Each structure stands twice: as C-alpha cells, then as structure tokens.
Structure 1
Amino acid sequence: MSKLGDDLIESLEEVLAYKRGEIALPTRTVSPLPPARIKAIRKRVAKSPKEFERRFHVPARTMEGWEQGRRQPDPAAVALLRVIEKNPDAVEAALAD
C-alpha cells in the first residue's frame, strides 16, 4: 500500500476512536454571532443585503436569515464574517482573484 493509503487508514482509525470516545482530539469552539452583531457587520460594509452579496458573495437571503435570527451561520461563515468585520477590503480582494 502507498504512504497516502496508510495515512488515510490511520486517519480513519483515529476518527473512529474519537467517535467511540477512546481518544480526545484537540478542538476549537467557534462562538456564534448574535443576529444584531451580524447586522452591524453588514451595515458597516454594505447598505443592504444585496450590496453585501455583490461584495462578498454571501446570498442576500442568507444574510437576512442570519440577521433576523431564523438561521445561524455555521463556523466557517462565522469566521468569514469576523474577517469581513476586521478587514473587508482583504476579503473583497481575495474574492476578486
């Protein structure tokens, strides 16, 4: 078997051991963003959900759901929102490439 195959098998065995509670793996918890903060982030960088969609490729309806508390962004979306909050121009530039 190849090195890649061996590594995949080892990784899957580790996942199974974690799922069975046999080992602990390092984890990071991403705190959720409250709807008011999501709306504040959006308002700081865009006048409307549609403008936010144009700049950052997050659908306007998704933003509206998060802002109204009907849905919660997943950890990756929370990370994106936090980066937009800190440096919207960098995110916009990265998306333009």
Structure 2
Amino acid sequence: MSGSKILAGMREAVAFAEGKPVDVRETIVRTPAEVDVKAIRERLGLSQQAFATQFGFSPGTVRNWEQGHRHPEGPARVLLKVIEKDPNAVLRALSA
C-alpha cells in the first residue's frame, strides 16, 4: 500500500513541476532574518565548542557561521532566534 502512495506522490510532484493543476497544499514558513551567532554565543559567555555542545550544533557549523562561510537556514535560524531570546527555554526543552 505504501508503495502505491509513493508512486502517486511522485506522479503528483511531476505534474506540479510541469505546471499542471494538482490538488496539493503549499505551506510557506517565514523564518527570522539573519542572526549574529557570534554575538549570541558571546552574550552567553560560551566558547564555540561549549555553545555547539549545549545547543546541539557541530563545532564546525558554529565556526562556519561565525566566519561567514555559511549562514544558518530555516530551522537552525529559528532555533538560534529562540536561543537569542530565551536560551533557558531551549535548555529546558533539550533536557526534557
């Protein structure tokens, strides 16, 4: 049964990509503007390693964000905004 659902979904995706009318729902999620990861981290008094460990990021990711090699996107940007506003809320959620 699940194989037929996958096939139907694929056919629907192809039709959508071809501009044909399909019965789909599109959800647009607005994410916050860019965040200053280094400023957030420094305000919390954490090293890159400690920040990464505490909030579930890899140290390399934090380093790349801070050096401008990469930029947080989507869910990471939202999480960083929550950390910026209320880091304890994230810590409580992660410890639950």
Question: TM over 0.5, yes or no?
Answer: yes
Amino acid at match of 2:76: A
Match of residue 86 from structure 1: 85
Counterpart check, 1:33 vs 2:34: yes
Give the alignment's TM-score, normalised by structure 2: 0.70
Change (3 A) 1:87 1:17: farther
TM-score, scaled to structure 1: 0.69
Pairs within 5 Å for 1:4-19: 11-19=9-17
Task: Give the drift of 1:48.
Answer: 1.2
Q: Is the 8 A contact 2:32 2:81 kept in 1?
A: no
The Cα offsets for residues 11-47 of structure 1, whole Å up to 9 and x where unpaired, read as: 555433332233582323435525xx12112222242
Alpha-carbon distance change, 88 to 17 in structure 1, aligned in 2, over 3 angstroms:
farther
Letter in 1 for 2:31: V
| Number of aligned residues | 93
Change (3 A) 1:19 1:44: farther
Q: Runs of 5+ in structure 2 lacking a partner?
A: none
